[in-house]
Amino acid sequence: MERVPLEKKVLSENDRIAADLRARFQEHGVFCLNLISSPGSGKTSLLECTLGAFPRHDRVAVLTGDIQTENDAIRLKRFHFPVKQITTGGTCHLDARMIERHLADWPLEDLDLLLIENVGNLVCPSSYDLGEAAKIVVLSVTEGEDKPLKYPSIFFKSDLLVLNKIDLLPYVPFDINAAADNARRIHPGIEIVKVSCLTGAGLHEWMMWLEQRRRAQKQLVQQPVG
């Protein structure tokens, strides 16, 4: 019997493509975000609010993933930015190859923000690197404040937690401070914004976060180190 050391990632092929995408995004100064949540938490609503706040000719594009239907792309195309639907046909997450394929005919030099809406699922998308600069997890107040403890991986890997549907707080038994504490137990450095896509509460803070990170990415390109 012979034991051969392998010492590599199980998803090394996905990671290779993701690293290639990340390098291309950096080269063109594209800030790429990967939005992840369970179905119905409000990823698409958050994107609608976000796109609605940008000037018409802003350099923004969206890839939106679902198992079936073009519904999200139809909703998001109303804002006149480039939008493509990725229908996975059953796969519960997006992978780097799907992103690569759907970006093939989009000139990256025309963009500086790429928003990727993952398939609604709090588990599997966390394993697949898409080349993004940051993952964002969206959690709505109808889901239960212990979700970070039940699904630690995505909270561990996300830079930002968007707590959505705060307009419903008076009507649901959701302890928003406990939710934030639970997220910080998993990931002490996670940033948190509380929003309502219905009333617009907190969206300013979300847009500030987005613009700040987007500017930082741009500066990275304009002032290359070394």
Partner 1 sequence: MHEMGIANSVIEAVRKEAARHPGTQPCKVGVRIGELAAIDQDALRFCFEAIARETDLESLQLDVEVCPRRHRCSACRREFVVHDYDFRCPQCASLATECISGDELELAYLEVEEYGACPAGEKSS
* DSSP bridge pairs for 85: 64
Q: How far is the CB of 10 from partner 1 (least distance, A)?
A: 5
Closest CB to partner 1 among residues 111, 138? 138
Q: How far is the CB of 93 from partner 1 (least distance, A)?
A: 6
Q: Which value, in Å, is the radius of gyration of the alpha carbons in the chain? A: 18
Name all contacts of 202-208 with Cβ < 8 Å and 24+ positions apart: 202/166, 203/49, 203/53, 206/46, 206/50, 206/162, 207/50, 207/53
Strand 31-36 to strand 113-117: parallel, antiparallel, or no bridges (unpaired)?
A: parallel
Q: How far is the CB of 115 from partner 1 (least distance, A)?
A: 22
CA 211 to chain centre: 15
Closest CB to partner 1 among residues 131, 148? 148
Q: How far is the CB of 71 from partner 1 (least distance, A)?
A: 23
Q: How far is the CB of 149 from partner 1 (least distance, A)?
A: 8
Closest CB to partner 1 among residues 118, 140? 118
- The residues of the shown chain that bind partner 1, judged by CB under 8 A, are 1-13, 91-93, 95, 123-124, 126-128, 149, 151-154, 156-157, 185-186, 188
Closest CB to partner 1 among residues 19, 172? 19
How far apart are alpha carbons 158 and 169 in whole angstroms? 24
DSSP letter assigned to residue 117? E
Closest CB to partner 1 among residues 124, 176? 124
* DSSP bridge pairs for 61: 114
Q: How far is the CB of 62 from partner 1 (least distance, A)?
A: 23
How far apart are alpha carbons 137 and 158 in whole angstroms? 6
* DSSP bridge pairs for 63: 84, 116
Closest CB to partner 1 among residues 30, 180? 180
